[in-house]
Amino acid sequence: MDELSLLRLNRRTLLKGLGVVGLATISPCAFSLAPGQSTPLPRVRLQLSDYKTFRSTCAMECLHCNLTAYVHQDKLIKIEASKDFNVKCCLRGISRTKWVYHQKRITTPLLRVGEKGEGKFKPISWDEALDLVEKNIRSTITNHGNEGLLISMHAGNMDSIKNDMGRAFFDYLGGSTKQAGSLCCSAVTAAMIPMLGLRYADTRDTIADSRYIICWGNNPAVTMHAYYKNYIKAQENGARIVVIDPRFSETAARADEWVPIVPGTDTALALGMMKIIIEEQRIDAAFLRQHTGAVYLVTADNQQMRADPQDADSYLVFDVISQKLVRHDSPGIEPALFQHQLPANSGFSTVFEQIYQQAAAWPVERVATETDIPVGTILRLARDYASNAPAMIIQNMSGAQRTEFGTYVAASQFYLALLTGNIGKRGAGVCDAGGARQMAKFSPIIPPAPNAKKITPIPVAKVGDWIVNDKPHPIKLWWIMTMGVMTQLPNTNQVRKALQKVPFVVVADNLMSSTALYADLVLPVTTIFEDVSLMAGVRSHYVQLMEKAVEPPGEAKPDYWIFARLAERFGFGEVFNQPIEHYINACLQGSGITLEQLKKGPVRPVEGDWVPFKDGIFRTSTKKAHFFIEEWQKQNFSPLVTYLQVKESIKGSPELAQKYPLMAVQRKLARSVHSSHGMNEWILEVQRNQPNVMIHPQDAQQRSIRHGDWAVAFNDRGEHRAIAVVTTQIKQGVVSLDNGWWEQQGGSSSHVTNDQFEILGTGHCCNSTLVDVRAEG
Ligand SMILES: Nc1nc2c(c(=O)[nH]1)N[C@H]1C(S)=C(S)[C@@H](COP(=O)(O)OP(=O)(O)OC[C@H]3O[C@@H](n4cnc5c(=O)[nH]c(N)nc54)[C@H](O)[C@@H]3O)O[C@H]1N2
Ligand SMILES: Nc1nc2c(c(=O)[nH]1)N[C@H]1C(S)=C(S)[C@@H](COP(=O)(O)OP(=O)(O)OC[C@H]3O[C@@H](n4cnc5c(=O)[nH]c(N)nc54)[C@H](O)[C@@H]3O)O[C@H]1N2
Ligand code: SF4
Ligand SMILES: [Mo]
């Protein structure tokens, strides 16, 4: 589409915009005009003292860097990395100036006049827009019940106010259909909560202390770029970095070793490593006895034994001193870990022995066949991980867990850490990119709704499919905020049909996004620096006040303003229409942090380096880490990590693989965070502006695809066009597709991605996808 050439400017605009000549001499003329602004500002030399500065947070699902805005005469002139912040923001953060002043900013409510997707709208007033919303909400509830309302929200803005307010508003209406799970990392959550008692256990502070780092299905050089410096420091200190990825990623390029793997087989590798580690007695038995449920007893029919069936925490262990069954937390005991420590014919075993049974099924040769990793490499990985303490696994919401059994992938990494005692210490652990939420308690911004009906949710990956099929009930009004359903949900063609089917689709966004094109009503919202908010979030270790620096364009409003106005119409205005400070204070309750403190700058809830589960204290009710997960057992899955073949894979669906013999994995790019920034003109100037498909030379040759040609990845769900990169930097049989391209740029790779949901965590298995690729011709 020609959207691109419209946006492409010459490189000098970016360089000027970034102020390479220094802030004090920058000229405001270098910037394109704000919407509605007609004449350029005169060229003047400004001094630092001429600017007002404001601080906010880069708020989509990334690292939540603190940004400083320089404002002159009510215009945002420049964004910089905040000087006293722990990480430096990237080009995308700085380029947010171009988001604020984007040509595609929506400045007034828009009502659809053309077909859905055509992008034809007419401006209407907020009063008209809110009348329409009110009318449609009321008629949906009357004619179809609260089930007919669906709210979709995700990671486009992860501040602590907006999504929470949306969720609460629909609850105060009496409830609505919601999405279950997340497109991102439900699998990690489903592993961590029962195993460790919390989600978010971030080890970024002590990466430099690590001696051995495995980036497992994870590409921090791009996706955690702001603190990649910690990895470099670790290498300077002598650490070895190993990357396990079907693609030679940007991190692999800087690492000591790249271990290509068949997608979806990571748990087989982890179990194989466990077998080696256990059989070679490389486990930390003392740690397992003291800090984990590896010593809990399991009956022959696979139930954990308890002293008191009414007391969930009364797990039984076998005390080798007294030779008796005792509660795990009895003083002065030495619990049996190994089978040979248990009485003969006892009829029970330990959780540890059950783990070993799972691992024993994975001799190194079998792992090699399944993963396509050489035997020698697997042996080395296991031995190096277990003997180079402290060793760290980087998981960080990884691509490897966006697979059909991603919960087992994430859990297997914690198994490895626990078995070797590589957790709760500097330089060890399994990093999951968590922020301030793991360090302090925050409170709900709105009291729970008094009468929200419990309504069956839609697994997020199934949103398109279920709406099209009226499952679990017809959806008549769909509210979409902070989410790019047309680019980020799997199976785009089905999502498009869903958008076309629902009679009233509201999209709140600040840009005419791919999703907004399909709305019946588009509501213009603010970006950061245009409203006040709070980031007490999950990706930065700091709690940050998000300040307003400039007026939003036209009629754009914060999402919370919209919910306040609607709440007034539905009779619960006072719950939603308080000043923003009220909600910020409510959130901070219990954290020990005050708004006054935040006005002076970001606040970290704890002092010193953060070492999650320090000294082996976990957050479960027993304070121990658990391996045997009864939640999984209740869903008829193995309570212990086990390897299951991904269905949409060569081995899992041989028939489908005849038709679609290539496994497609997704890749996040430096140019965007998902669909965010995808249309930022500064980024389009310096980053590539067309999607790529990486394909191995042999796969390319078989299909007569040449390097640099346009190619099409396709399957029964749809097609994605991209430029072929023919390279040995991708495993044969695998192709890598880019995440985040807009409909207006030719369309998202989600056209082909798997919309089955990751079962244990209700997550997203975009990396369990079969395709074929053809030259465009
Ligand atoms: N094909 C493919 N799909 C994927 C992935 C992949 O790798 N490949 N990755 C998955 C992952 S890990 C994630 S986390 C998701 C992310 O997917 P999403 O959560 O959808 O994230 P974004 O695309 O960043 O943002 C969505 C929209 O939020 C809007 N937005 C920003 N600020 C605000 C605001 O204040 N209010 C409102 N109302 N809107 C706002 C943005 O303009 C943007 O249009 O994508 C998932 N989908
Ligand atoms: N620049 C940038 N940074 C981001 C984001 C972004 O969009 N852009 N998104 C943010 C978000 S929401 C998230 S969730 C994180 C994600 O961070 P990452 O997990 O690092 O990101 P991905 O690119 O999705 O996946 C990383 C790698 O997983 C590999 N992979 C895919 N399937 C498998 C598999 O089955 N096994 C193994 N071993 N590897 C596999 C892919 O080839 C890819 O190189 O990044 C965050 N940071
Ligand atoms: S895009 Fe990510 S790394 Fe870049 S400034 Fe924003 S939060 Fe930081
Ligand atoms: Mo994500």
pLDDT tens sequence across 14-28: 556 555 434 444 443
Indicate which residue's Cα is closest to atom 13 of ligand 1.
184
**pLDDT value, residue 777:** 79
Best probe residue, ligand 3, of 18, 55, 57, 92 (max atoms within 8 Å of C-beta)? 92
What distance in Å separates the CA atoms of residue 536 and residue 224, rounded to the nearest whole number?
19
Alpha carbons within 13 angstroms on the beta-carbon side of residue 64 total 26
Evaluate: CB of 328 within 6 angstroms of ligand 2.
no
669 Cα: distance to centroid of ligand 4 (angstroms): 12
C-alpha torsion sign, points 482, 579, 176, 765: positive
Report whether pLDDT(768) > 70: yes
**pLDDT value, residue 115:** 97
Ligand nearest to the CA of residue 156, numbered in listed order: 1
Indicate which residue's Cα is closest to atom 2 of ligand 3.
62
Indicate which residue's Cα is closest to atom 17 of ligand 1.
488
Average pLDDT of the segment spanning 356-367: 98
183 Cα: distance to centroid of ligand 1 (angstroms): 9
What distance in Å separates the CA atoms of residue 236 and residue 74, rounded to the nearest whole number?
45
Closest to 403 in 3D by CA, of 729, 754, 734: 754
C-alpha torsion sign, points 678, 683, 687, 690: positive
What distance in Å separates the CA atoms of residue 398 and residue 389, rounded to the nearest whole number?
23
How many other β-carbons are positioned within 10 Å of the β-carbon of residue 113?
Answer: 9
Q: Retrieve residue 341's tokens.
A: 């420590």
90 Cα: distance to centroid of ligand 2 (angstroms): 17
Q: Fill in the DSSP letter of residue 306.
A: B
Q: Which atom of ligand 2 is nearest to the CA of 398?
A: 19
Contact by Cβ (8 Å): 694, 249: no
**pLDDT value, residue 46:** 76
Q: Which residues contact 124 (CB under 8 A, 6 or more apart)?
A: 108, 109, 110, 111, 132
**pLDDT value, residue 27:** 41
Ligand nearest to the CA of residue 736, numbered in listed order: 2
Evaluate: CB of 435 within 6 angstroms of ligand 3.
no
Q: Which amino acid is at 69?
A: A
Could you tell me which CATH number the domain at 654-775 has? 2.40.40.20
705 Cα: distance to centroid of ligand 1 (angstroms): 32
Residue that has been written with the tokens 């449609």 in this structure = 136
Helix H or strand E encompassing 4: helix 3-7
Evaluate: CB of 683 within 6 angstroms of ligand 3.
no
215 Cα: distance to centroid of ligand 2 (angstroms): 11
Q: Which amino acid is at 391?
A: A
Q: List, for residues 96-118, the tens digit of each pLDDT value.
A: 999 999 999 999 999 999 999 99
Residue that has been written with the tokens 């000087």 in this structure = 83
Ligand nearest to the CA of residue 671, numbered in listed order: 2
What distance in Å separates the CA atoms of residue 54 and residue 661, rounded to the nearest whole number?
52
**pLDDT value, residue 33:** 41
Q: List, for residues 118-140, the tens digit of each pLDDT value.
A: 999 999 999 999 999 999 999 99
**pLDDT value, residue 758:** 87
Q: List, for residues 605-616, the tens digit of each pLDDT value.
A: 999 999 999 989
Strands, E, within 510-622: which ranges?
Answer: 521-524, 533-535, 544-546
What is the residue-wise DSSP string for 464-520? HHHHHTT-SS---EEEEES--HHHHSS-HHHHHHHHHHSSEEEEEESB--TTGGG-S
Q: Which atom of ligand 3 is nearest to the CA of 226?
A: 3
Q: Given pLDDT bands bounded at 50, 70 and 90, which one contains residue 387? A: very high
Best probe residue, ligand 2, of 218, 430, 768 (max atoms within 8 Å of C-beta)? 218
Average pLDDT of the segment spanning 438-465: 97
What distance in Å separates the CA atoms of residue 19 and residue 22, rounded to the nearest whole number?
5
Evaluate: CB of 400 within 6 angstroms of ligand 3.
no
**pLDDT value, residue 16:** 62
What distance in Å separates the CA atoms of residue 677 and residue 741, rounded to the nearest whole number?
10
Indicate which residue's Cα is closest to atom 46 of ligand 2.
223
**pLDDT value, residue 21:** 35
551 Cα: distance to centroid of ligand 3 (angstroms): 23
Q: Which atom of ligand 3 is nearest to the CA of 90?
A: 4
**pLDDT value, residue 14:** 56
CA-based end-to-end distance of the chain: 19
Contact by Cβ (8 Å): 764, 183: yes
What distance in Å separates the CA atoms of residue 624 and residue 166, rounded to the nearest whole number?
36
Q: Which residues contact 160 (CB under 8 A, 6 or more apart)?
A: 442, 445, 533, 534, 535, 536, 537, 584, 587
Q: Which atom of ligand 3 is nearest to the CA of 673?
A: 1
Report whether pLDDT(29) > 70: no
Q: Which atom of ligand 3 is nearest to the CA of 93?
A: 5
Average pLDDT of the segment spanning 693-707: 98
**pLDDT value, residue 18:** 59
Give the residue extent of every domain in the chain: 2-100, 203-432, 654-775
Cα 218 to the center of its chain, rounded Å:
12
> How do the residues of the chain divide into helix, strand and coil, expressed in percent and rounded to 5?
35, 20, 45
155 Cα: distance to centroid of ligand 1 (angstroms): 5
**pLDDT value, residue 42:** 59
Angle, helices 266-279/364-371, rounded to nearest 10 degrees: 160
64 Cα: distance to centroid of ligand 1 (angstroms): 14
Report whether pLDDT(176) > 90: yes
The two counts, helices (H) then strands (E), for the chain are 27, 30
Evaluate: CB of 221 within 6 angstroms of ligand 3.
no
Q: Which atom of ligand 2 is nearest to the CA of 397?
A: 14
Strands, E, within 82-208: which ranges?
Answer: 110-112, 121-123, 149-153, 177-180
**pLDDT value, residue 28:** 39
Ligand nearest to the CA of residue 401, numbered in listed order: 2
**Strand 692-695 to 718-726 pairing:** parallel
Closest to 157 in 3D by CA, of 714, 680, 639, 530: 530
Average pLDDT, the chain: 94
The torsion region of residue 64 among left (phi > 0), alpha (psi -120 to 50) and beta comes to left
**Hey, is 714 helix, strand or coil?**
strand
How many other β-carbons are positioned within 10 Å of the β-carbon of residue 486?
Answer: 27
Ligand nearest to the CA of residue 61, numbered in listed order: 2
Q: List, for residues 524-543, the tens digit of each pLDDT value.
A: 999 999 999 999 988 999 99
Report whether pLDDT(474) > 90: yes
Burial class (CB in 10 A: 0-12, 13-18, 19+), 689: middle
Ligand nearest to the CA of residue 220, numbered in listed order: 2
What distance in Å separates the CA atoms of residue 722 and residue 717, rounded to the nearest whole number?
17
What distance in Å separates the CA atoms of residue 21 and residue 19, rounded to the nearest whole number?
5
Closest to 91 in 3D by CA, of 529, 682, 530: 682
Q: Given pLDDT bands bounded at 50, 70 and 90, which one contains residue 39? A: low
Residues 120-143: b if buried by 16+ CB within 10 A, e if exposed: ebebbebeebbebbeebbeebbee
748 Cα: distance to centroid of ligand 1 (angstroms): 12
Average pLDDT of the segment spanning 173-198: 97
Report whether pLDDT(665) > 60: yes
Q: Given pLDDT bands bounded at 50, 70 and 90, which one contains residue 315? A: very high
Q: Retrieve residue 410's tokens.
A: 């994430």
Q: Which residue has the higher pLDDT, 141 or 758?
A: 141
Best probe residue, ligand 2, of 215, 668, 686, 767 (max atoms within 8 Å of C-beta)? 668
Contact by Cβ (8 Å): 63, 540: yes
For residue 390, whether the previous peptide bond is cis, meaning omega lies within 30 degrees of 0, is: yes
183 Cα: distance to centroid of ligand 4 (angstroms): 7
Contact by Cβ (8 Å): 661, 770: yes
Q: Retrieve residue 680's tokens.
A: 């930022």
Evaluate: CB of 64 within 6 angstroms of ligand 3.
yes
How many other β-carbons are positioned within 10 Å of the β-carbon of residue 402?
Answer: 30
Q: For ligand 1, which residues put their CB under 6 angstroms from it?
A: 60-61, 154-157, 162, 183-184, 481-484, 488, 508-511, 513, 525, 559, 666, 668, 673-676, 739, 748-750, 753, 766
674 Cα: distance to centroid of ligand 4 (angstroms): 8
Indicate which residue's Cα is closest to atom 4 of ligand 1.
488
**What are the residues facing 458 on neighbouring strands?**
179
218 Cα: distance to centroid of ligand 2 (angstroms): 5
Ligand nearest to the CA of residue 734, numbered in listed order: 2
Ligand nearest to the CA of residue 766, numbered in listed order: 1
Evaluate: CB of 717 within 6 angstroms of ligand 3.
no
Indicate which residue's Cα is closest to atom 11 of ligand 1.
184
Evaluate: CB of 62 within 6 angstroms of ligand 3.
yes
Q: Which atom of ligand 3 is nearest to the CA of 224?
A: 3
What distance in Å separates the CA atoms of residue 16 and residue 12, rounded to the nearest whole number?
6
Q: Which amino acid is at 191?
A: A
Average pLDDT of the segment spanning 708-737: 98
Contact by Cβ (8 Å): 362, 373: no
Q: Which atom of ligand 1 is nearest to the CA of 153?
A: 19
Alpha carbons within 13 angstroms on the beta-carbon side of residue 660 total 23
Contact by Cβ (8 Å): 272, 363: yes
**Hey, is 112 helix, strand or coil?**
strand
Closest to 760 in 3D by CA, of 615, 601, 590, 629: 629
Q: Which atom of ligand 3 is nearest to the CA of 81?
A: 5
**pLDDT value, residue 433:** 87
Residue that has been written with the tokens 């297997």 in this structure = 412
For residue 472, whether the previous peptide bond is cis, meaning omega lies within 30 degrees of 0, is: yes
664 Cα: distance to centroid of ligand 1 (angstroms): 20
Could you tell me which CATH number the domain at 203-432 has? 3.40.228.10
**Hey, is 213 helix, strand or coil?**
strand
Q: Given pLDDT bands bounded at 50, 70 and 90, which one contains residue 47? A: confident
